[in-house]
Chain A
């Protein structure tokens, strides 16, 4: 929308109103709080998009949701007790991550059900404490729904650190992660410490959730993690491309969401999530159209679709 406007404006001769309009587009960047918010949301978007790929392919989309709710309890406890927010949330978050990881490994109860109980309990503790202290302040609202105004230097430092840790973990553990996700048993036989890989992954996910809380908010983090990854899944069948696409979609939707929330005066987390949903809608549509275009029938009336060039007499062979 905005680029289109810019394009149309470039044709019209520049006059005062145009300049004023351009100025107003750049206006948010003159505020330090906004440049900080953009920086944080881009990093959050990228890191959530990156982690999302592995979570979606592991078939554990609910884990981001669970983790964020569990961490909320810790955050409230540290607010009320007067600890440093990140310290309290980190301790609580890593304990929950460890518990979730253990529950997932033991399969007596279905993991999603068990995680649902454990993590919602964490959330309930937070809500309970808030209700008894009767100090429902803006801070808690920010935790729940995200707030761009409240970003501090500490928030920036934390998200930069978490981004570095996540990126290097994915870089060095990519093959092990992929192998564990695809075929855990064989990975184990071939010397991958799958328990460690899964534990590290859970701990890093907890760190990502904690770092994302201030800008996206507890209730919306799950969507920020899942939306870019499923959008990327619609666009490509190639794992590496999916990782890159998901990260870029995460960054883009976070930027667009944060930027437009300035003009719409809307909650940043919600706006980012809606942009993510839009990205999923667009990529689904793209995948649908591509499939329509590629679906064709051969002599034996087998309808199928795969990428190929339609030209000439449309000759290509299929292996049965």
Chain B
């Protein structure tokens, strides 16, 4: 599966221009990052841990303000970064960043995704319940009991799908995922990749995900961007994942499947 649309013909939906950012002064995590992501592309950000790929995601969705450089979105006239992202972007954070002992149910977590579209009442209404049901159906979870389960009872793959559901319930045009397939077993990984592929192909959703799983996932994505502090190479995996690029990205000469 390759992306055969020519570079010139498509408009970029996300345009990152010469961005630099760091968490401490004079210690940049990202430097000279420029990248254009066309509408409907399924992109994997590859790089070792500490390479700044999660940071780049967070800059794109507006969580960090870059030291310099700009982020532009197709058709966005609003200067407030959240105004665009809250309407158009679905975000799936790393599951490790969440306290899974928090006493909430699957329904409540997914309902958070439409906190601003579900009335003023402090509880989640019947409408939310219905919408949650629809989304879970789409993700292949037909068990009607599932939505009432406590999140701490979920397996890794289920946690991941609940987060995906919370993003999809907002009907985003761009889906941003931070390590969506870390810490899940082979079958779950394949299932999640299948869902992402169909979202991309059927709904023309632009997908941007980070992964450090080079062999299992990176090789099979339609488009990859190798980065380590800056963009090293981008393109289809077969031409990009060369010995030289990998050495520059990971500091290793080759990799095993």
Residues of A near any B CB (own CB < 8 A): 57, 170-172, 174-176, 178-179, 181-183, 185-192, 233, 236-240, 242, 306, 319-320
Smallest CB gap from B99: residue in A: A182
Report the minimal beta-carbon distance from A308 to chain B, rounded to whole angstroms: 12
Q: Is B113 in contact with A190, judged by CB distance below 8 angstroms? A: yes
| Distance between Cα atoms of A188 and B123 in the complex (Å) | 20
Q: Is B112 in contact with A182, judged by CB distance below 8 angstroms? A: yes
Q: Is A189 in contact with B89, judged by CB distance below 8 angstroms? A: yes
When distances are taken between beta carbons in the complex, the residues of chain B under 8 Å from A181 are 102
| Distance between Cα atoms of A187 and B109 in the complex (Å) | 11
| Distance between Cα atoms of A101 and B116 in the complex (Å) | 25
Set A182, A185, A233: member contacting B109, Cβ < 8 A: A182
When distances are taken between beta carbons in the complex, the residues of chain B under 8 Å from A306 are 153
Besides A185-B93, A189-B85, A190-B112, 17 other CB < 8 A contacts?
A57-B102, A174-B123, A175-B112, A175-B115, A176-B115, A178-B112, A179-B112, A182-B109, A187-B115, A188-B82, A189-B63, A189-B89, A190-B91, A190-B113, A192-B115, A236-B103, A237-B150
| Distance between Cα atoms of A236 and B155 in the complex (Å) | 21
Q: Is B93 in contact with A191, judged by CB distance below 8 angstroms? A: no
When distances are taken between beta carbons in the complex, the residues of chain B under 8 Å from A176 are 115
CB-contacts of B111-130 with A (<8 A): 111-113, 115-116, 118, 120, 122-124
Report the minimal beta-carbon distance from A6 to chain B, rounded to whole angstroms: 36
Set B97, B103, B115, B120: member contacting A190, Cβ < 8 A: B115
Q: What class of interface size applies to chain B in its complex with A?
A: 35 or more
| B200, CB-defined interface residue at 8 Å | no
| B235, CB-defined interface residue at 8 Å | no
| B253, CB-defined interface residue at 8 Å | no
When distances are taken between beta carbons in the complex, the residues of chain A under 8 Å from B87 are 191
Instruction: Write the B58-86 contact mask toward A (1 if CB under 8 angstroms, else 0).
Output: 10011100000000000000000011011
Q: Is A189 in contact with B82, judged by CB distance below 8 angstroms? A: yes
Q: Is A187 in contact with B112, judged by CB distance below 8 angstroms? A: yes
Q: Is B82 in contact with A186, judged by CB distance below 8 angstroms? A: no
Q: Is A240 in contact with B63, judged by CB distance below 8 angstroms? A: no
Q: Is B122 in contact with A239, judged by CB distance below 8 angstroms? A: no
When distances are taken between beta carbons in the complex, the residues of chain A under 8 Å from B161 are none
